[in-house]
A and B are shown apart, each in its own frame.
Chain A
């Protein structure tokens, strides 16, 4: 009893503090004549962005989207490379070759003990010490590096890309079957059946066929068109109700799982206060969030003219518009007669205006900020991943290696069949943590003017003065990323744990 009094009293105290602070904020705002709202999302942001999917966004939301995509770009690239480098270094630290071992140790001890920001600045400084170029350098190169970045030969999806992708997808599905078939064959005959090679071969065959045959899929345009019509035809409120329903269903599913877990052959045990609180909290928050979604989606926002919607529209209508545009995208990408799926470009330096040399707009340029952030977070996280990998492998008892080699498995075989499957379970949770850290650390890109979410948001907030909503947007975004990564990690963790028992 006393416990509940204490808790509720504390909660009341907290709410009181929030209310008081809220009033202070409100009076501060009115004193300074600031009005916080979400108008900036649709207003033109009034600045251009140095790199990204859209360098001259027409709305604040679009600008933020550019930042988000930029952030995800570094994150994904960073995760891939950091995992590779980290694993290699982690294994190097276990090597019995003295030089390799010491290189691994030196890498980890150097990189881990220098703040990431210093390292990012250092990579930036390194790039900035490269030469510049001018009029006399105009021409085409294979690769080119300068203070403006590193230009690489580029491969672009071209006209026929999406139709070609249909072939690739079919190839992937076929490869799955081929792989199963060949694996079964190997189990039955005991002979090497090259399962993986044949699967990869299948994909390649389909990709090669698609290279020439992809115009055949032009007719799919009609399907996408029909889907688009369907998406645009559904009444807008239905979208918000569907989302709300999904949320309620999620909460219900969680509660069901909770009861399942408590179920014993003898029926349910006694529920503690705590259990009741959890269920009630889950149910309540499900309903509240669902209600919030419905409320939010009926709000009216102003959309700048130029698009298919103008003036005052509800958010539900915007969602419907997005769904329609999604299918429309595919509809437009499919043509009966299309060129090759890819276009190749060598980097070039060309003149823009009088005496102003620039990399050609078709060149793929790794900009200085991108380079600094990408190399920075990759190198930094790799050091931590190396430790994770090393610890994971060391955590597999020595006896496992000994037993595996005693029954005659080769090093490569026992690594693959015995050590890695066991190490992987140990490695997974801390690895997920490192991925999370990497994703959050990309925000340091702000310091070198890399246009990711925080940098774009900060500029927006300077331009519009809407600091509070922008900070909220950041938080929602990062929490979404964090929760997604931990959800994936938890999913695999549970799946792997099931394998053992």
Chain B
């Protein structure tokens, strides 16, 4: 090369970017036919996919499908034998949950903004998929020489959706995030709600056969009202308390309270034994609350470090002694609670305000616990054949929630034990975790159902649902512990040293520094565990509880009255699979969102 070659290529500082090669042909070339192997793969697997959907749609709309077994038993699947005239209680519970959920979304500012392009892409995909399925359905129906109106309708709707989606993707500014994601969700949810008023579902006819009939008013009206409640409450919450941090604490408290209130008060409808309350529970509760509050205020004094431990140990001895005499259960529970409160007093000890707050927390806890014990002692006014007012999906959810709520503290304790420097605690935690995880859940359920009677003092019986909750919780705790341990081990040494340098005790360090960080770090794993637990609740069907799956696979196929569904197994099972799928899939998607959001906030 000669020495004086010297080239200036451009005079402008920057060439304008050109749009990349676009269009369906380019897309197909890069994604489907980029090489010979790829072309073969595309053809073969495209064919297989086509065949799969052809058969699947054919199965679903087949002439002899008994989907009426599902629609006719919808109430059973959802709430089992909960009395129909009381169903307003269920709707009320759902409304409470929805309002709380909407308030939470508003306070946390959960919504994001989506670009027109992204929404358009989703619409396009969904529309294309819908028309694809409808096309297959139409072909099936035509080949069967049955009317194909619904199939053609789906085809048209799908094409329109895809067209709208395509339009939304056009234009330069389509990639700017501007559409609120919650609005998209609301519109998307409005579709099934509206569909309930339009579509007709297979319904059995007395004496045999099925027909297409509109959805029952008792289903679609409450659902529509719930939808409207949700929308309105979000809008109201967004205007009033939207994104205000000070409402977060109360909301969490409301969530914690909502579960026992909904299950024990609203759904269970207890008949409160007022004479018992005035004669026993009120005096006991009041005495514990007032005397205890004074004691807690006294021990939560940082200068009286050993006092808390001494008082705690004393109350604990009292608790042990209480088993030797016959007292009402609530006394023992409150004594145990008192011991724990006194023992942890040094951890929360502080100035006058902190002491008063600690006493206040004690007071409220006693009131709540006493109230809860009264609720448990009270009889339920709801009677049902299976012996429990919970059933169907309305058993599956409480099982999962209660199981999670119980397993969480236990899991934390086990994780702390397993990472502790104290060998005996570590040994015991490790043994617990390994033994529980080494053995399948079904055996623990059988233990709870077959063996537990031997372990209880005479006269004490525990309901099947409660047993299942305990089995699930003890099982899940071992897995949770392992997840949390991962989080604890991921915390840097610097955190410990910093905490030590501040003069914190080991307990304070754990409660205020390491544990919160560890839990935050393992949120995805924890959500994964929640999902696993939710799926695991289906195992209670093996021990004969009337959960959602049990009704789908054991109750419906054995019905002969008023309609004959003997042997109809695949349809309810497929429906059950669909419901489980929708729930777990949304949970896993939500967890992905959460993960991304937390990740963004952190880094």
Interface residues of A (CB under 8 A from B): 3, 6-8, 10-11, 14, 21, 24-25, 27-29, 31, 95-100, 103, 109-110, 112-119, 121-122, 125-126, 128-129, 273-274, 277-278, 281, 440-441, 443-444, 446-447, 454, 458, 461, 467-468, 471, 474-475, 478-479, 482-483
Contacts and interface: CB of A to CB of B under 8 A. Distances in A.
A118 B549 contact: yes
A99 B442 contact: no
Interface stretch (B101-109, B160-168, B231-239, B450-458): B450-458
Nearest to B427: A281
Nearest to B539: A117
Given A28-B458, A96-B34, A99-B32, A273 B569 contact: no
Interface of A is mostly: helix
6 tightest A-B contacts by CB?
A: A482-B438, A98-B31, A440-B440, A115-B535, A7-B424, A277-B423
A14 B458 CA distance: 22
Contacts of B439: 440, 474-475, 478-479, 482
Contact of B422 (A6, A96, A126, A478): A6
Given A11-B424, A116-B535, A447-B542, A471 B447 contact: yes
A478 B436 CA distance: 10
Contacts of A110: 581
Contacts, number: 158
Contact of A119 (B49, B542, B577): B577
Interface in B60-103: none
Given A117-B538, A118-B538, A468-B454, A278 B440 contact: no
Contacts of A129: 569-570
Nearest to A101: B31
Contact of B451 (A6, A7, A467): A467
Contacts of B435: 475, 479
B386 interface: no
Contact of A96 (B31, B442, B531): B31
B580 interface: yes
B442 A128 contact: no
A471 B450 contact: yes
A118 B457 contact: no
Contacts of B42: 97-100
B574 interface: yes
A277 B424 CA distance: 9
B495 interface: no
Interface string B565-578: 00001100110110
A458 to B, nearest CB: 7
A471 B446 contact: yes
A99 B443 contact: no
Given A115-B580, A467-B451, A273 B423 contact: yes
Contacts of B585: 109, 113
Contacts of A126: 570
Q: Is the interface of B mostly helix, strand, loop or mixed?
A: helix
A447 B440 CA distance: 14
Interface residues of B, number: 55
Interface of B: 31-32, 34, 38, 41-42, 45-46, 49, 421-425, 427-428, 434-435, 437-443, 446-447, 450-451, 453-458, 531, 535-536, 538-539, 541-542, 549, 553, 569-570, 573-574, 576-577, 580-581, 584-585, 588
A98 B32 contact: yes
Nearest to A26: B454
Contact of A121 (B45, B422, B447, B553): B553
A122 B570 contact: yes
21 contacts: A6-B422, A7-B424, A10-B425, A28-B454, A28-B456, A28-B458, A99-B41, A99-B45, A99-B46, A113-B581, A115-B535, A118-B549, A121-B573, A125-B570, A454-B440, A458-B446, A471-B447, A474-B439, A475-B435, A479-B434, A482-B439
A257 to B, nearest CB: 18
A129 B573 CA distance: 13
A3 B420 CA distance: 11
A222 B512 CA distance: 74
A14 B428 contact: yes
B443 A443 contact: yes
Given A97-B38, A113-B580, A441-B440, 7 more contacts: A21-B455, A114-B580, A117-B549, A118-B538, A128-B569, A479-B434, A479-B439
Contact of A118 (B434, B531, B573): B573
Nearest to A281: B427
A78 to B, nearest CB: 14
A6 B584 CA distance: 42
Nearest to A447: B542
Nearest to B583: A113
Given A96-B34, A443-B442, A3 B427 contact: no
A95 B35 CA distance: 13
A479 B433 CA distance: 12
Given A97-B32, A114-B581, A474-B439, A461 B450 contact: yes
A440 B475 CA distance: 13
B31 to A, nearest CB: 4
Nearest to B449: A467
A173 to B, nearest CB: 37
B577 A25 contact: no
Given A3-B422, A110-B581, A471 B570 contact: no
A28 B453 contact: yes
